[in-house]
Amino acid sequence: MKSGTPRFHNQVAWARQYLVWEGLLDDSKHGVWTLTNKGQNTSLTVEESRQIFLKWVEIHQATKKAKNETVLVKRQEEEEPEQLEHEIAPTLLEVLQSVTPTGFEHICKRLLREHGFENVVVTQASHDGGIDGYGTLELNPFVSIKVLFQCKRYKGTVSRAQVGDFRNAMIGRAEKGIILTTGIFSEDAKREATRDGAPPIELIDGKKLVELFEQVELGVRPKTVYEVEYSFFDQYIDKSTKT
């Protein structure tokens, strides 16, 4: 009971947090348990519940400080979710990297629609010819262009050759191309995307992708964080006391 809170209370709080992350409970006021639509249609066995726990441990492996399940369980018995959330809560980029490739394509489809694209379609995986989808972007009331997009759910680097292959697949089919990735682009890939005399390709890396999700609040919600205004307390502090 390191934090002064009973161990059972912390275990229950963590159980609620896992269900929130899984989309089974609404992330509303602390202490309130409200089932989501998914939660109302879900029934979990003990083993399925344990698998949810292990799933989130795996997703957070790159950022959590605890090195194994036993250590993490022990810390959860002693600390509430708010005390550890910044350590193990998955970032948006980590969540995107954990979805299936097909799932990522459909998420990108939704993102493009939220940013003004119309008639967005994800192509069939086995017949896309290097193109994962297409849509229409209206530039003004008189002009609209067809845009092809490719989605790469990567943790690594998209190469120049991959950008070139995408351009070859889009030539004669659209005026503009977009590659969205959860990874990064090599410098050669960036140069290839803007090569003179070739159809332009917009490159959206993981950092930019997160910004685009945040701009339209898709899959994320703003959170207010309060910081201490130290100047307010200066008049009440004994300056002669050494810290």
SS3 content of the chain, % helix, strand, coil (to 5): 45, 15, 40
Cα separations in angstroms, 240 against 228, 234, 235: 22, 12, 12
pLDDT at 184: 95
Q: Answer whether 177's CB lies under 8 Å from 149's CB.
A: yes
| pLDDT greater at residue 215 or residue 62 | 215
Q: How many residues does the chain have?
A: 243
Helix (H, G, I), strand (E, B) or coil at 174: coil
Cβ atoms of 106 and 122 within 8 Å: the answer is yes
Is the Cβ–Cβ distance between 153 and 97 less than 8 Å? yes
Topology given in CATH for the domain delimited by 98-216: Trna Endonuclease; Chain: A, domain 1 (3.40.1350)
For the chain, domain boundaries: 7-89, 98-216
| Mean pLDDT of all residues in 118-123 | 93
Q: With both helix axes pointing from N to C terminus, report the angle between 7-21 and 81-88 in degrees, rounded to the nearest 10.
A: 40
CA distance 174 to 159: 22
At 155-202, the pLDDT tens digits run 899 999 999 999 999 888 888 999 999 999 999 999 999 998 888 899
Nearest to 173 by CA among 140, 134, 204: 134
Residue 77 carries which side chain, given as an amino acid letter?
E
Please state, rounded to an integer, the average pLDDT across all residues of the chain. 80
Other C-beta atoms closer than 10 Å to the C-beta of 18 total 18
Work out the number of other CB atoms within 10 angstroms of the CB of residue 15.
17
Examine the pLDDT at 4 and tell me if it is beyond 60.
no
Nearest one of 101, 113, 130, 97 to 210, comparing CA atoms? 97
The pLDDT value recorded for residue 20 is 79
State the pLDDT confidence band at 1, using cuts at 50, 70 and 90. very low
61-118: pLDDT as tens digits: 645 544 455 555 655 555 555 555 545 567 889 889 988 889 999 999 999 999 999 9
Cβ count within 10 A of residue 114: 15
pTM of the model: 0.62
Show the tokens assigned to 141.
């009331």
d(CA 4, CA 107) in angstroms, rounded, equals: 42
Tell me how far CA of residue 33 lies from CA of 17, 26, 205, in angstroms. Answer: 10, 7, 36
Residue 157 in contact with residue 185, Cβ under 8 Å?
yes
